[in-house]
Protein backbone atom coordinates (compact mmCIF):
# COMPACT_ATOMS: atom_id res chain seq x y z
CA UNK A 1 0.00 0.00 0.00
CA UNK A 2 2.91 2.35 0.69
CA UNK A 3 4.03 2.01 -2.94
CA UNK A 4 0.58 3.06 -4.14
CA UNK A 5 0.50 6.05 -1.77
CA UNK A 6 3.95 7.12 -2.96
CA UNK A 7 2.98 6.89 -6.64
CA UNK A 8 -0.29 8.77 -6.05
CA UNK A 9 1.56 11.50 -4.12
CA UNK A 10 4.04 11.84 -6.98
CA UNK A 11 1.22 12.17 -9.52
CA UNK A 12 -0.52 14.81 -7.40
CA UNK A 13 2.70 16.78 -7.02
CA UNK A 14 3.31 16.64 -10.77
CA UNK A 15 -0.27 17.75 -11.38
CA UNK A 16 0.16 20.79 -9.13
CA UNK A 17 3.44 21.70 -10.83
CA UNK A 18 1.79 21.36 -14.22
CA UNK A 19 -1.10 23.57 -13.11
CA UNK A 20 1.39 26.18 -11.87
CA UNK A 21 3.15 26.11 -15.26
CA UNK A 22 -0.19 26.46 -17.03
CA UNK A 23 -1.06 29.46 -14.85
CA UNK A 24 2.17 31.14 -16.00
CA UNK A 25 1.31 30.45 -19.65
CA UNK A 26 -2.25 31.75 -19.22
CA UNK A 27 -1.07 34.95 -17.57
CA UNK A 28 1.68 35.49 -20.15
CA UNK A 29 -0.72 34.79 -23.02
CA UNK A 30 -3.21 37.39 -21.82
CA UNK A 31 -0.47 39.97 -21.32
CA UNK A 32 0.93 39.71 -24.86
CA UNK A 33 -2.45 40.09 -26.52
CA UNK A 34 -2.58 43.11 -28.81
CA UNK A 35 -4.46 46.17 -27.69
CA UNK A 36 -4.84 48.05 -24.45
CA UNK A 37 -7.20 46.93 -21.68
CA UNK A 38 -7.69 50.47 -20.40
CA UNK A 39 -8.44 51.72 -23.92
CA UNK A 40 -10.91 48.89 -24.41
CA UNK A 41 -12.75 49.79 -21.20
CA UNK A 42 -12.92 53.55 -21.70
CA UNK A 43 -13.37 53.55 -25.47
CA UNK A 44 -11.70 55.51 -28.24
CA UNK A 45 -12.79 58.89 -26.88
CA UNK A 46 -10.90 58.51 -23.59
CA UNK A 47 -8.44 61.23 -22.69
CA UNK A 48 -4.76 60.43 -21.96
CA UNK A 49 -5.27 61.44 -18.33
CA UNK A 50 -8.21 59.08 -17.90
CA UNK A 51 -6.22 56.27 -19.52
CA UNK A 52 -3.24 56.89 -17.25
CA UNK A 53 -5.44 56.94 -14.15
CA UNK A 54 -7.20 53.69 -15.11
CA UNK A 55 -3.90 51.94 -15.87
CA UNK A 56 -2.64 52.97 -12.45
CA UNK A 57 -5.86 51.77 -10.81
CA UNK A 58 -5.70 48.40 -12.57
CA UNK A 59 -2.02 47.97 -11.73
CA UNK A 60 -1.02 47.81 -15.39
CA UNK A 61 2.05 49.96 -14.71
CA UNK A 62 3.50 47.37 -12.31
CA UNK A 63 6.04 44.79 -13.56
CA UNK A 64 4.55 41.63 -15.07
CA UNK A 65 6.03 39.33 -12.41
CA UNK A 66 4.46 41.41 -9.64
CA UNK A 67 1.05 41.36 -11.34
CA UNK A 68 1.35 37.57 -11.77
CA UNK A 69 2.19 37.01 -8.10
CA UNK A 70 -0.70 39.26 -7.06
CA UNK A 71 -3.08 37.34 -9.33
CA UNK A 72 -1.78 33.94 -8.17
CA UNK A 73 -2.12 34.99 -4.52
CA UNK A 74 -5.74 35.94 -5.15
CA UNK A 75 -6.42 32.59 -6.84
CA UNK A 76 -4.93 30.66 -3.91
CA UNK A 77 -7.19 32.54 -1.50
CA UNK A 78 -10.29 32.06 -3.66
CA UNK A 79 -10.36 35.60 -5.03
CA UNK A 80 -10.49 35.49 -8.82
CA UNK A 81 -10.86 39.24 -9.13
CA UNK A 82 -13.51 41.50 -10.57
CA UNK A 83 -14.74 41.59 -14.16
CA UNK A 84 -13.61 44.77 -15.90
CA UNK A 85 -16.65 44.94 -18.16
CA UNK A 86 -19.41 44.91 -15.53
CA UNK A 87 -17.71 45.07 -12.10
CA UNK A 88 -19.15 41.72 -10.99
CA UNK A 89 -17.26 39.32 -8.75
CA UNK A 90 -15.76 36.65 -11.02
CA UNK A 91 -15.98 33.87 -8.41
CA UNK A 92 -19.75 34.29 -8.04
CA UNK A 93 -20.36 34.47 -11.80
CA UNK A 94 -18.17 31.46 -12.49
CA UNK A 95 -19.85 29.49 -9.69
CA UNK A 96 -23.20 29.72 -11.46
CA UNK A 97 -21.75 29.10 -14.92
CA UNK A 98 -19.57 26.19 -13.83
CA UNK A 99 -22.59 24.46 -12.31
CA UNK A 100 -24.41 24.69 -15.64
CA UNK A 101 -21.41 23.36 -17.56
CA UNK A 102 -20.98 20.43 -15.15
CA UNK A 103 -24.71 19.69 -15.45
CA UNK A 104 -24.42 19.52 -19.23
CA UNK A 105 -21.22 17.44 -19.10
CA UNK A 106 -22.70 15.05 -16.52
CA UNK A 107 -25.69 14.13 -18.65
CA UNK A 108 -23.57 13.85 -21.77
CA UNK A 109 -21.25 11.47 -19.90
CA UNK A 110 -24.21 9.54 -18.46
CA UNK A 111 -25.32 8.81 -22.03
CA UNK A 112 -21.97 8.50 -23.81
CA UNK A 113 -19.96 6.30 -21.42
CA UNK A 114 -22.40 3.35 -21.02
CA UNK A 115 -23.32 3.55 -24.70
CA UNK A 116 -19.67 3.54 -25.81
CA UNK A 117 -18.76 0.57 -23.59
CA UNK A 118 -21.84 -1.37 -24.69
CA UNK A 119 -21.13 -0.72 -28.37
CA UNK A 120 -17.50 -1.73 -27.83
CA UNK A 121 -18.55 -5.03 -26.26
CA UNK A 122 -21.01 -5.71 -29.09
CA UNK A 123 -18.34 -4.86 -31.68
CA UNK A 124 -15.95 -7.37 -30.08
CA UNK A 125 -18.67 -10.02 -29.86
CA UNK A 126 -19.44 -9.68 -33.57
CA UNK A 127 -15.91 -8.85 -34.68
CA UNK A 128 -15.44 -8.47 -38.46
CA UNK A 129 -19.16 -9.04 -39.01
CA UNK A 130 -21.81 -6.55 -40.04
CA UNK A 131 -22.64 -5.24 -36.51
CA UNK A 132 -18.95 -4.46 -35.94
CA UNK A 133 -18.62 -2.74 -39.32
CA UNK A 134 -21.86 -0.79 -38.84
CA UNK A 135 -20.89 0.46 -35.37
CA UNK A 136 -17.37 1.40 -36.48
CA UNK A 137 -18.64 3.17 -39.59
CA UNK A 138 -21.30 5.21 -37.81
CA UNK A 139 -19.03 6.25 -34.94
CA UNK A 140 -16.21 7.21 -37.29
CA UNK A 141 -18.66 9.29 -39.33
CA UNK A 142 -19.82 11.10 -36.19
CA UNK A 143 -16.31 11.93 -35.02
CA UNK A 144 -15.32 13.14 -38.49
CA UNK A 145 -17.91 15.93 -38.42
CA UNK A 146 -17.17 19.14 -36.44
CA UNK A 147 -19.34 19.98 -33.46
CA UNK A 148 -20.80 23.13 -35.00
CA UNK A 149 -21.96 21.24 -38.11
CA UNK A 150 -23.66 18.49 -36.07
CA UNK A 151 -25.21 21.14 -33.83
CA UNK A 152 -26.69 23.16 -36.68
CA UNK A 153 -28.02 20.01 -38.40
CA UNK A 154 -29.75 18.92 -35.19
CA UNK A 155 -31.16 22.42 -34.67
CA UNK A 156 -32.52 22.48 -38.21
CA UNK A 157 -34.24 19.10 -38.07
CA UNK A 158 -35.25 18.66 -34.43
CA UNK A 159 -35.57 22.30 -33.39
CA UNK A 160 -36.95 24.05 -36.48
CA UNK A 161 -38.63 21.38 -38.61
CA UNK A 162 -39.95 18.88 -36.06
CA UNK A 163 -39.99 21.25 -33.05
CA UNK A 164 -39.23 18.39 -30.66
CA UNK A 165 -36.59 20.29 -28.69
CA UNK A 166 -35.76 23.98 -28.23
CA UNK A 167 -33.02 25.44 -30.42
CA UNK A 168 -31.76 27.62 -27.57
CA UNK A 169 -30.69 25.66 -24.49
CA UNK A 170 -31.78 28.05 -21.75
CA UNK A 171 -31.72 26.77 -18.16
CA UNK A 172 -32.40 28.61 -14.92
CA UNK A 173 -33.00 27.80 -11.26
CA UNK A 174 -36.80 27.69 -11.39
CA UNK A 175 -36.94 24.93 -14.01
CA UNK A 176 -37.79 21.33 -13.12
CA UNK A 177 -35.33 18.54 -13.92
CA UNK A 178 -37.44 17.37 -16.85
CA UNK A 179 -37.56 20.88 -18.32
CA UNK A 180 -33.78 21.19 -17.98
CA UNK A 181 -33.23 17.81 -19.64
CA UNK A 182 -35.53 18.79 -22.49
CA UNK A 183 -33.61 22.07 -22.91
CA UNK A 184 -30.19 20.38 -23.07
CA UNK A 185 -31.25 17.41 -25.21
CA UNK A 186 -29.63 18.74 -28.40
CA UNK A 187 -26.29 19.87 -26.91
CA UNK A 188 -26.05 16.56 -25.00
CA UNK A 189 -26.61 14.72 -28.28
CA UNK A 190 -23.85 16.71 -29.98
CA UNK A 191 -21.36 16.05 -27.18
CA UNK A 192 -22.28 12.35 -27.12
CA UNK A 193 -21.69 11.96 -30.85
CA UNK A 194 -18.35 13.76 -30.58
CA UNK A 195 -16.85 11.58 -27.81
CA UNK A 196 -18.62 8.30 -28.54
CA UNK A 197 -16.33 7.01 -31.30
CA UNK A 198 -13.07 7.48 -29.39
CA UNK A 199 -14.32 5.65 -26.29
CA UNK A 200 -15.97 2.87 -28.30
CA UNK A 201 -12.90 2.15 -30.41
CA UNK A 202 -10.59 2.18 -27.39
CA UNK A 203 -12.92 -0.24 -25.60
CA UNK A 204 -12.92 -2.51 -28.65
CA UNK A 205 -9.12 -2.36 -29.08
CA UNK A 206 -8.39 -2.96 -25.38
CA UNK A 207 -10.70 -5.98 -25.16
CA UNK A 208 -9.36 -7.47 -28.41
CA UNK A 209 -5.84 -7.16 -27.02
CA UNK A 210 -6.85 -9.08 -23.89
CA UNK A 211 -8.67 -11.70 -25.97
CA UNK A 212 -5.30 -12.98 -27.17
CA UNK A 213 -4.37 -14.12 -23.64
CA UNK A 214 -4.12 -17.75 -22.60
CA UNK A 215 -6.72 -17.53 -19.84
CA UNK A 216 -9.29 -16.37 -22.39
CA UNK A 217 -8.62 -19.49 -24.43
CA UNK A 218 -9.01 -21.57 -21.26
CA UNK A 219 -12.38 -19.95 -20.53
CA UNK A 220 -13.52 -20.67 -24.08
CA UNK A 221 -12.38 -24.32 -23.80
CA UNK A 222 -14.54 -24.64 -20.66
CA UNK A 223 -17.55 -24.01 -22.87
CA UNK A 224 -18.43 -20.53 -21.65
CA UNK A 225 -20.46 -18.36 -24.00
CA UNK A 226 -18.65 -15.78 -26.08
CA UNK A 227 -20.31 -12.77 -24.53
CA UNK A 228 -19.78 -14.14 -21.01
CA UNK A 229 -16.08 -14.63 -21.75
CA UNK A 230 -15.83 -11.06 -22.99
CA UNK A 231 -17.80 -9.48 -20.15
CA UNK A 232 -16.61 -11.60 -17.20
CA UNK A 233 -12.98 -12.27 -18.16
CA UNK A 234 -11.71 -9.89 -20.86
CA UNK A 235 -13.44 -6.65 -19.89
CA UNK A 236 -12.20 -6.45 -16.23
CA UNK A 237 -8.61 -6.92 -17.38
CA UNK A 238 -8.95 -4.23 -20.05
CA UNK A 239 -10.41 -1.66 -17.68
CA UNK A 240 -7.22 0.45 -17.23
CA UNK A 241 -6.92 1.77 -20.83
CA UNK A 242 -10.70 2.12 -21.02
CA UNK A 243 -10.75 4.26 -17.87
CA UNK A 244 -7.94 6.40 -19.28
CA UNK A 245 -9.78 7.17 -22.49
CA UNK A 246 -13.07 7.72 -20.63
CA UNK A 247 -11.44 10.27 -18.31
CA UNK A 248 -9.79 12.07 -21.21
CA UNK A 249 -13.14 12.34 -22.96
CA UNK A 250 -14.84 13.47 -19.75
CA UNK A 251 -12.23 16.21 -19.54
CA UNK A 252 -13.13 17.17 -23.09
CA UNK A 253 -16.81 17.28 -22.16
CA UNK A 254 -16.04 19.95 -19.56
CA UNK A 255 -13.24 21.82 -21.35
CA UNK A 256 -14.37 21.41 -24.95
CA UNK A 257 -17.94 22.61 -24.54
CA UNK A 258 -17.11 26.15 -25.69
CA UNK A 259 -18.31 25.63 -29.28
CA UNK A 260 -21.42 23.72 -28.24
CA UNK A 261 -22.40 26.30 -25.61
CA UNK A 262 -22.01 29.14 -28.10
CA UNK A 263 -24.11 27.34 -30.73
CA UNK A 264 -26.99 26.65 -28.34
CA UNK A 265 -26.50 29.89 -26.31
CA UNK A 266 -26.12 27.76 -23.20
CA UNK A 267 -25.32 29.77 -20.03
CA UNK A 268 -22.15 27.89 -19.13
CA UNK A 269 -18.43 28.51 -18.79
CA UNK A 270 -17.79 28.40 -22.53
CA UNK A 271 -20.36 31.08 -23.32
CA UNK A 272 -19.07 33.16 -20.41
CA UNK A 273 -15.51 32.92 -21.75
CA UNK A 274 -16.44 33.86 -25.31
CA UNK A 275 -18.54 36.82 -24.18
CA UNK A 276 -15.65 38.29 -22.18
CA UNK A 277 -12.98 37.55 -24.77
CA UNK A 278 -14.94 39.83 -27.11
CA UNK A 279 -14.88 42.51 -24.39
CA UNK A 280 -11.18 41.92 -23.70
CA UNK A 281 -11.97 41.25 -20.06
CA UNK A 282 -8.57 39.84 -19.08
CA UNK A 283 -9.35 38.78 -15.45
CA UNK A 284 -12.31 36.70 -16.64
CA UNK A 285 -10.27 35.07 -19.42
CA UNK A 286 -7.50 34.23 -16.95
CA UNK A 287 -9.90 32.78 -14.39
CA UNK A 288 -11.88 30.64 -16.84
CA UNK A 289 -8.71 29.42 -18.54
CA UNK A 290 -7.23 28.36 -15.20
CA UNK A 291 -10.42 26.54 -14.17
CA UNK A 292 -10.58 24.69 -17.49
CA UNK A 293 -6.92 23.69 -17.07
CA UNK A 294 -7.52 22.53 -13.48
CA UNK A 295 -10.47 20.36 -14.53
CA UNK A 296 -8.54 18.82 -17.41
CA UNK A 297 -5.45 18.09 -15.31
CA UNK A 298 -7.58 16.79 -12.43
CA UNK A 299 -9.50 14.29 -14.56
CA UNK A 300 -6.29 13.07 -16.18
CA UNK A 301 -4.83 12.59 -12.69
CA UNK A 302 -7.87 10.51 -11.75
CA UNK A 303 -7.34 8.36 -14.85
CA UNK A 304 -3.67 7.93 -14.00
CA UNK A 305 -4.41 6.97 -10.40
CA UNK A 306 -7.12 4.48 -11.42
CA UNK A 307 -4.69 2.89 -13.88
CA UNK A 308 -2.05 2.58 -11.15
CA UNK A 309 -4.48 1.00 -8.69
CA UNK A 310 -5.98 -1.43 -11.23
CA UNK A 311 -2.71 -2.53 -12.89
CA UNK A 312 -0.06 -4.21 -10.68
CA UNK A 313 2.58 -3.75 -13.40
CA UNK A 314 2.34 0.02 -12.98
CA UNK A 315 2.72 -0.29 -9.21
CA UNK A 316 5.80 -2.49 -9.55
CA UNK A 317 7.48 -1.43 -12.83
CA UNK A 318 10.66 -3.40 -12.07
Half-sphere exposure of 98 (CA within 13 A, CB side): 14
pTM for the whole thing? 0.76
193 within some domain = yes
Helix-helix angle 185-210:147-154, to 10 degrees: 130
Count the domains in the chain: 1
CATH of the domain at 264: 1.10.3720.10
C-alpha to C-alpha distance for 69 and 111, rounded to whole angstroms? 42
- Give me the half-sphere count of Cα atoms (radius 13 Å) on the Cβ side of residue 80: 22
* Cα 218 from Cα 126, distance rounded (Å): 20
Is 151 within a domain? yes
In a domain, 33, yes or no: no
The gap from C-alpha 160 to its chain's centroid, in whole angstroms, comes to 28
Residues 117 and 203 sit within 8 Å (Cβ to Cβ): yes
Q: Can you give the residue range of the structural domain that contains 239?
A: 102-281
Q: Is residue 297 situated within a structural domain?
A: no
Does residue 131 lie in a domain region? Answer: yes
The alpha carbon of residue 234 and the mean position of all alpha carbons in its chain are separated, in whole angstroms, by 29
Q: CA-CA distance, 58 to 70, in Å (whole number)?
A: 12
Is 203 inside any structural domain?
yes
- pLDDT tens over the chain, length 318 residues: 566 777 778 888 888 888 888 888 888 877 776 666 666 666 666 667 776 776 776 666 667 777 788 878 878 887 777 777 677 778 878 887 888 888 888 888 888 888 888 888 788 777 778 877 888 788 777 777 787 888 888 888 888 888 888 888 787 777 788 888 888 888 888 888 888 877 888 777 777 777 666 666 676 666 666 667 776 666 666 676 777 777 777 777 777 778 888 888 888 888 888 777 777 777 888 888 888 888 888 888 877 777 777 666 555 555
Residues 153-189 as b/e (b if ≥16 CB within 10 A, e otherwise) read ebbeebbeeeeebbbebebeeeeeeeebeebbbbbbb
Residue 7 within any structural domain of the chain:
no
Q: Name every residue whose Cβ is closer than 8 Å to that of residue 26 and which is 6 or more positions away in sequence.
A: 286, 289, 290, 293
Count the neighbouring beta carbons within 10 Å of the beta carbon of residue 71: 23
- Please state, in angstroms and rounded to a whole number, the distance separating the CA atoms of residues 124 and 207: 7
Residue 37: how many other CB atoms lie within 10 Å: 19
Residue 132 lies in a domain: yes
pLDDT confidence of residue 296: 83
Amino acid sequence: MSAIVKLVAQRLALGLLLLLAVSVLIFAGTQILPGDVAQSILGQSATPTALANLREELGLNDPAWLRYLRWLGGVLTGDLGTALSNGQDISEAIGRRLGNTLFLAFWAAAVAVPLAITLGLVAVRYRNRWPDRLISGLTLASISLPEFFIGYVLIFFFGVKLRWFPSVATVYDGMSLWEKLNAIALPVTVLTLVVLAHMMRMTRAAILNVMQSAYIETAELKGLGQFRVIFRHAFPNAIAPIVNVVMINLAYLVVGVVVVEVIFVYPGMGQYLVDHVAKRDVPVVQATGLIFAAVYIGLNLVADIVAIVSNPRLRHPK
